[in-house]
Amino acid sequence: MAVKRYNVRMAGIGGQGVVTASHIISNGVVISGGFSSLVPFFGSEKRNAPVESYVRISNQEIFEIGEIIFPNVLMIFHPSVITLGKSYTMPFYTGLKKGGIILINNKTPLKFSRDEQKELDDTEAKLWYLPATEIANEVAKTDLATNMAMCGAISAIFGLPDLESLAESVKDRFIGKGIVTSGGTAALDSAIEKKFAKKQKLLEANHDTLKASYQYAVEQGWANEGAGSKKESATV
């Protein structure tokens, strides 16, 4: 069996749930029977500070650990990662493998400098824009579900994790085994729980956001880029 590997680098800003999203996707892959590992990268835990997280997804055992220097998928959770350089990796596409996918949370395409555009063109990068914050606001009535929208789209693109396993993973995060991400996240939990009063309601809002962005990605024709399809992933 050929090894399929998706090396995903996520970049966003503190408070958006980038690290949580990576835990949820990774855990979802494992639930669906695949192999996955992840590692987050951040400074002090504070709002609006740069955050990165790396997820490895494979159909076989994964040995490598640590940051992903040469990803084939980028998930940009906030446009300021690119426009304001709020990122540990500059420019944001550094190390992207040829033909890689870039999923950006923004309503409209961003304007790049001539050099950047040339490098993106040379890499033959696929740039996809997902209005994740808008989907979160519309469906869950809070932009805190932005990370769920990003997760849903990834599920549609690769089919791994599938939507069901992803939803199961979100459940693990909130009412299941209680995935530990960090002390800061625990504090955020209590804040968001007050807003939703009940975890169940919170879970439903998250699930709805996952589904909505999954649907959006399917409608855009991004689906089946990976695992489920005949197409091989970029080699690693």
Partner 1 sequence: MSNAVAKPASWVPKGDLQKEISAEKMLLELPRELQFITGSEAAREAIKRANIDCAISYPITPQSETMQQAGYLFDEGYIKEYYRGEEEIGVMSAIAGASRAGVRALTATSGPGLMRGMEAISSWPGARVTPVLLNMCRVINTPLAIQPDNIEMSFILNTGMIMLHAENQQDFFDYTIAACEVTEHVDVTLPAMVSVDGFFVTHARGPVSIPSDEYKLNRRDGWKNAVPAMDNENPPARISRDAPIQKSNFISYHMHASWQQEVFAAVERSAKYFDVLLKGRVEVINPEAEEFIIASGSAVSQAREAIRQEGENGRTVGLVKVKTIRPFPSAQIIAAVKNAKRILIPEFNQAGWLHKEVCSALYGKCKAEIVNGPRVYGGMTMPTEMILEWLQKTRKDFA
Question: 3-class SS at 31?
Answer: helix
Residues 56-115 that bind partner 1 (CB under 8 A): 62-67, 69-70
Which residues lie across from 58 on neighbouring strands?
5, 35
Q: Which of 16, 141, 8, 157 is nearest to 79 (CA)?
A: 16
CB of 69 to partner 1, least distance (A): 4
Q: Which is nearer to partner 1, 36 or 105 (CB)?
A: 36
CA atoms within 13 A on the CB side of 144: 16
Q: Which of 141, 135, 150, 128 is nearest to 16 (CA)?
A: 150
User: Is residue 23 near partner 1 by the rule CB under 8 A?
Assistant: yes
Return the structure tokens found at 187: 């504090």
Piece in contact with partner 1 (CB under 8 A), picked from 9-17, 33-41, 112-120, 160-168: 33-41
Phi, psi of 7 (to 5 degrees): -105, 110
CB of 180 to partner 1, least distance (A): 6
Question: 3-class SS at 61?
Answer: coil
Other beta carbons less than 10 A from residue 65's beta carbon: 11
User: Is residue 154 near partner 1 by the rule CB under 8 A?
Assistant: no
List CB contacts of 57: < 8 A, sequence separation 6 or more: 5, 6, 7, 8, 25, 26, 29, 34, 35, 36, 158, 160
Q: Which is nearer to partner 1, 185 or 220 (CB)?
A: 185
CB of 171 to partner 1, least distance (A): 15
Piece in contact with partner 1 (CB under 8 A), picked from 22-30, 149-157, 160-168, 190-198: 22-30
CB of 12 to partner 1, least distance (A): 16
Q: Which is nearer to partner 1, 38 or 151 (CB)?
A: 38
Which residues lie across from 129 on neighbouring strands?
104
CB of 54 to partner 1, least distance (A): 9
**Contact string 170-199 vs partner 1 (x = CB under 8 A):** ----------x-xx----------------
DSSP code, position 56: E
Size of the site for partner 1 (CB under 8 A): 22
Q: Which of 135, 130, 222, 179 is nearest to 28 (CA)?
A: 179
Question: Which of 6, 13, 20, 27 is the binder for partner 1 (CB under 8 A)?
Answer: 27
Question: Which of 16, 20, 36, 209 is the binder for partner 1 (CB under 8 A)?
Answer: 36
Q: Which of 233, 71, 234, 77 is nearest to 159 (CA)?
A: 233
- Binding residues (CB under 8 A) for partner 1: these are 23, 26-27, 30, 36-41, 43, 62-67, 69-70, 180, 182-183
